[in-house]
Structure 1
Amino acid sequence: MCISKKICPVPYDQQPINEYASLKQSCFFAWSTFNISYYIMSIGIIFCVLFIICLPVSLSLVSSKQNLLEAFIFNFILVTGCLLAIFTRLYLGWSYIVKRLVSASVFYEESGWYDGQIWVKTVDSLTKDRLIGAYEVRPLISRVQYSFICAIMCFALEISIYYLL
């Protein structure tokens, strides 16, 4: 996946295609690349783990111990808030990668923050990067956006139910 130094002066780790490959292989971002059934199952597993972790917190924060329903709804609010943060992080990571893939020029740093350069992509690398951005990364971004919208709707529903109690 590495482009030769004669064609591309960008360091290996800062080349958009290599950034995409490392993000795709990372533990946090990899589960969003699964097919839709595994993706939904992963969200369910994350939800259950967060529910168990946040349960003692919500039980201690709810003042009246006799109202367990209020504590469980508060726990759902906490877990959905955590899921919103996760979806936000997923969206920001994938959108950064797609911007670097579809851009005609790439900003990179040779040795530090003080000596940044801009490389204009060749036609071949630009075409390859844009194809990867359009057909592999953008569907992931829209999947994360739909998940984020569903989580916001659940969050609003949970808050309204909590205040109706």
Structure 2
Amino acid sequence: MERRTPTVAIPPEQRPFNEYQQLRSSYFFRWATVEPRVYLGTILAVWSVAWIVSGPVAAWSFPPGRMPWQFLVGGAGGAGIILGLVLLRLYLGWSYVHTRLLSASVHYEETGWYDGSFWTKPAEDLAKDRLVVEYQVAPVMRRLRRTLAALALFYAVEALLCWLM
């Protein structure tokens, strides 16, 4: 597709700053922006609720009465997979908005998926969007990357425990 400044204005809901505001105000994605204590509490809550699915699967594989450690490690790992999927969804949503805010021109759809075009941001919008990225979106992205790295470390410990058992 060729890049051109359209004669029709970009729809307001597809402007990167408006997408950021919608993301920030949505119940699910707002979770990544709360204070650290609430953020960690929500991570633990999601992991605990994920035990509803992973616990029975782990119990079927490793009967808790005969193999308690394997049951705990298996259930924790299964719950971690569900938590990882939730965190990955958070990261992908924030990453999408991050990319669109940083770009000098963005793709948008005029009436449907088949007739998209590119919009080149005015200098003022670009400067505003980049400030939003620097002070609002980048800290959220760092937090999510650190959380995903901690989850990867959790999986490394899980793998080591499985290997030792």
- Asked if Structure 1 and Structure 2 have the same fold, meaning a TM-score greater than 0.5 normalized by the shorter chain, the answer is yes
Offset of residue 21 of structure 1: 1.2
Is the contact made by 1:81 and 1:155 (CA closer than 8 Å) also made in structure 2? no
| Separation (CA, whole Å) in 2 of partners of 1:66 and 1:119 | 63
Query: CA shift at 1:63, angstroms?
Result: 6.1
**Cα displacement (A) at 1:8:** 7.9
- Contact 1:77–1:159 under 8 Å retained in 2: no
Residue in 1 that maps onto 2:3:
none
Which residue number corresponds to residue 60 of structure 1? 60
| 2:116 is equivalent to residue 142 of structure 1 | no
Shift of 1:60: 1.1
Question: RMSD in angstroms over aligned alpha carbons?
Answer: 1.9
Where does residue 4 of structure 1 map in the other structure? none
The structural deviation recorded for 1:159 is 1.7
What is aligned with 1:127?
A: 127
SS at 1:119 equivalent: strand
CA contact 2:109–2:117 (8 Å) conserved in 1: yes
Q: Which moves more between the two structures, 45-54 or 126-135?
A: 45-54
Segments of structure 2 that go 5 or more residues without pairing to the other structure are 1-6
> Which residue is 2:23 aligned to?
23
Mapped to 1, the partners of 2:66 and 2:8 lie a distance apart of 66
Query: Given that residues 24 and 30 in structure 2 are in contact (C-alpha distance below 8 angstroms), is that contact kept between their aligned partners in structure 1?
Result: yes
Runs of 4+ in 1 over 6 A off after TM superposition: none
Give yes or no for contact 2:106–2:119 (8 Å, CA) kept in 1: yes
SS in 2 for 1:66: coil
Amino acid at match of 2:108: Y
**Corresponding residue pairs, total:** 160
- Tell me the equivalent position of 1:3: none
Contact 1:107 1:116 in 2 (8 A): yes
1:64–1:143: structure 2 CA closer, same or farther, 3 Å change rule? closer
User: Residues of 2 paired with 1:42 and 1:64: CA distance?
Assistant: 27
Unaligned runs of 5+ in 1: 1-6
Matches of residues 7-156 of structure 1 in structure 2 within 5 Å? 9-62=9-62, 65-156=65-156
Confirm or deny: 8 A CA contact 2:108 2:117 kept in the other structure: yes
- Deviation track 1:123-157 (CA, whole Å, cap 9, x = no partner) reads 11111111111110011001000000000001110
* Alignment TM-score, normalising by the size of structure 1: 0.89
Normalized against structure 2, the TM-score is what?
0.89
